[in-house]
Structure 1
Amino acid sequence: MDIKRHLKSALKQLGFDKPRKAQIIPMKTLDAGQDAIVIAATSSGKQVIYETVGLAHSDRLTIVIEPLLALIYNQVQTLKAHDISAEYIDKDTTKEDTEKILKKARKGRLNFLYVTPERLQNSTFLSAMKQTDIFMVVVDECHCVTEWGQTFRDAYLHIGKFIDKLEHKPVICACSATIPADSMDIIRDNLHMDKPAVLRSDLRRDNLILLKKDVTCNKKTLEERLESRIKKLCKLIDKYHKDGSVLVFAQTTAYVDALYNILRERYTDEVTRYHSRVKPERHKKELLFDFLHGERKIMISTSAFSMGIDVSDIELVVHFNAPISMTDYIQQIGRAGRDGRKAHCVLFYDQNDDDDAVSDSFIKKTKKQSAKAAKTIKTKRKQVHDFIHSDNCMVSDILEYQGQNETKTCKRCTVCAKKRRNKK
């Protein structure tokens, strides 16, 4: 199946000779002006789909709505490296620079504009967008509409209202690797999509080796138990860290800072960190780019560094704490093996309830604002617990959560390996 010449030309400008098979139909659908929900595996190139189509219509603006600033910086940097007109507006963009960017958009000299959903509620931004010729609005990582919109980022629930206020309805593209089946209609309705094509491809990632490790420790104090867990983390890094990069996820900023301080003594000049409380913003960007450019090979982060980040050589992902949702887990392991090489993803869990104590605190704070949101988080945490203690193939359980029935086991995860040993 071929694509039109203007799409081929755009794809080449992005640095690709030809599209992957799973990218062709979504590209054609969006190019023809039809709304689309694109569900594809992490690292399958969803970003290339909307960038190619947006670039093929470079006389008009494409707005890309992202959940995380790290993701915005990463994508804009990549586009600019290919001489493509792309900008972002974040909370640290000065009023003067914001005006320049919006003027550029109104005059048709800007191809891509990256923002978070909160920006859409800004009256100055809305006024400028009403005067701009917009071809497409992309809601990247659209699972955030249900994952976050109903808990702590209600701006996700108002994207459709923003689109309705534009002078002309743009093409709407919503994409993610993690859209639970019961969320599809909610996402479509919230984004005010017009009979979108639902385009699903195989979500399986055969190059990822999934492992879960019980790090329960019988030491009396939390400090001793964490010390034991950190030793296990270092053993994993020593075992699997070769010439690629390592990504360690921790539940809280305090955990990230503690791990950073300890690991940088052992892995001198290799370690960096990323979370919302690193200040100033300029310094946080420097830490991020150190990792994106390969100057530092070990990143320790909260979920602020989880979706869509494209570092091709990540060979090890470790969850130092059990994540609070399956969506977080799937997105985070999706950072691994994006160059197609084998990568290991190790999930730590404990039966001391140390991780649950942290998430209980988060749920308690959430409950003060919204009992419904707290209940949603509890449900998601239970799904993670069920996954950790399941006797099924880890890959099969993940695919089932994503709505893809899979009878074929991976034969390599912790559960499959244990069953294989027991048969001998």
Structure 2
Amino acid sequence: MKPDYELKPAMKKMQIQSLRKEQIKPIQSILKGHDTIVSAPTSMGKSLIYQLPALVHTHQLTLVIEPTLALIYDQVKKLQDFGISADYLDHTRSKSQEMSVLAALSKGSLTFLYVTPERLQSTRFQASLSMCDLYMVVIDECHCITEWGYTFRDAYLQIGQFIEELPRKPMVFACSATIQEHTVEDLSDKLHLDAPKWFRCDLTRKNLILMKKDLTMEDRSLENRLYSRFKAVKKAVRKYQDTGSVVIYASTIDYVDALYDYLSEYFPGQVVGNHSKMKPHKKEKMLLDFLTGQRKIMVATTAFGMGVDVPDIELVLHFNVPLSMVDYVQQIGRGGRDGRKCRCVLFYEQNGDDQKIFASFCKKSQNSKMLKQRYQEMQDFVHSTGCMQQDILAYFGQATEKTCQKCTNCAKERRK
């Protein structure tokens, strides 16, 4: 199936020679004016699915809602490098910069505007947007609606109402690598979609080698257990890092800081950190060092890296068990985006240390029942003896008879 003729100028603008077949059908759905949902693996090129139709309608505005500032900066820079009229609004912009962006909105001179969902609640922003010719609203990483909306970012639950109250309802596009079949109806309801077209791609990532390691200890000292886990991190980095990058996920800011200090001793000049309490200037510098390859080891909390394209990651390590399968799949999805093999190593233990961290998250949650259900699903995955790849695909409603032959469980089965 060839792309529509009207896409050719847009593809040329973005220096795209050809499209994948998984991209063409949802692009055509958007061009026909349908609300559209896409579930596709990381590195598939989901951004192009909305960016190319937006460039066909370059005289209208496409509003893109992203979960993180790092992702906003990354997307806007790429578009601007192609000479495309794109900008963003966030809390780091000065009042004069914000007024300049709003002025560009009112003049109709922007093709793309990137924001976080919190921006939609600004009455000034709502007033400016009401004067625009709005073509499409994009919710990138739309799993955040159900994953984060009920916990620490309720602005995600207000997106549908925002869309409903616009003077003219625009087309809506939502995408993520982690959409379950039963959540499509929920997304459609929350976003007030009109009979959306849903496209689901094969989620298999053959270059990811899934591994897990039980670090349960008889030692009663938490300090000793953590130190043993720190040493296991160091060993994994030395064993699996070659020339590429490493991402290490930890559940708390304290763990991120402690891992950063520990690893900096053994890998001097190579380690950076990322969490919400870090000073903005320091955080930006560390992120840039990692994105440009000047430093190769990133220690971060959950939200880091969502949609950020670092192509050479060859080790993704979880210091703690993630809170949900969605978090886990999103995070391992950062690996091997350039096609190289990537080890995805999951640490777990049965001393109850991670369980205590989870309990603290539950206390802060508005929906602890849902959080407990998702954490139990993650625990079921951790303790399953089946092929880890098959278990992931089954969780997202995709059946496959073939085992991956590479994960920890498949390797154990071969040795029997």
| Shorter-chain TM band | over 0.9
SS, match of residue 178 in structure 2: coil
SS, match of residue 225 in structure 2: helix
User: What amino acid is the match of 1:352?
Assistant: N
Aligned residue runs from structure 1 range 15-414, under 5 A: 15-279=15-279, 281-366=280-365, 370=366, 373-414=367-408
User: What amino acid is the match of 1:162?
Assistant: F
Q: 2:410 matched to 1:416?
A: yes
Q: For residues 35 and 156 of structure 1, what CA distance do their matches in structure 2 show?
A: 18
Q: For residues 265 and 79 of structure 1, what CA distance do their matches in structure 2 show?
A: 39
Q: For residues 203 and 118 of structure 2, what CA distance do their matches in structure 1 show?
A: 30
Q: For residues 187 and 288 of structure 2, what CA distance do their matches in structure 1 show?
A: 32
SS, match of residue 303 in structure 2: helix
**1:252 Cα shift?**
0.6
User: What amino acid is the match of 1:394?
Assistant: M
Q: Which runs of 4+ in 1 moved over 4 A?
A: none
Q: For residues 344 and 293 of structure 1, what CA distance do their matches in structure 2 show?
A: 21
**1:296 Cα shift?**
1.3
Q: TM-score, normalised by structure 2?
A: 0.97
Q: Aligned pair count?
A: 416
User: Which stretches in structure 1 are left out of the alignment for 5+ residues?
Assistant: none
User: What amino acid is the match of 1:16?
Assistant: I
Q: For residues 78 and 221 of structure 1, what CA distance do their matches in structure 2 show?
A: 49
Q: For residues 321 and 333 of structure 2, what CA distance do their matches in structure 1 show?
A: 16
Q: TM-score, normalised by structure 1?
A: 0.95
Q: Are 1:106 and 1:133, in contact at CA under 8 Å, matched by a contact in 2?
A: no
Q: Are 1:325 and 1:381, in contact at CA under 8 Å, matched by a contact in 2?
A: yes
Q: For residues 137 and 188 of structure 1, what CA distance do their matches in structure 2 show?
A: 14
User: What amino acid is the match of 1:359?
Assistant: F
**1:121 Cα shift?**
0.9
User: What amino acid is the match of 1:375?
Assistant: K
**1:23 Cα shift?**
0.4
Tell me whether 310-319 or 101-110 shows the greater mean CA deviation: 101-110
Tell me whether 104-113 or 409-418 shows the greater mean CA deviation: 104-113
RMSD after superposition: 1.3
User: Which stretches in structure 2 are left out of the alignment for 5+ residues?
Assistant: none
User: What amino acid is the match of 1:325?
Assistant: S
**1:2 Cα shift?**
1.1
Tell me whether 194-203 or 103-112 shows the greater mean CA deviation: 103-112
SS, match of residue 193 in structure 2: coil
Q: Are 1:130 and 1:165, in contact at CA under 8 Å, matched by a contact in 2?
A: no
- Amino-acid identity (%): 51
SS, match of residue 213 in structure 1: strand
Q: For residues 52 and 252 of structure 2, what CA distance do their matches in structure 1 show?
A: 37
Q: For residues 189 and 364 of structure 1, what CA distance do their matches in structure 2 show?
A: 28
User: What amino acid is the match of 1:98?
Assistant: E
Q: For residues 216 and 79 of structure 2, what CA distance do their matches in structure 1 show?
A: 45
**1:81 Cα shift?**
2.3
User: What amino acid is the match of 2:377?
Assistant: Q
User: What amino acid is the match of 1:125?
Assistant: F
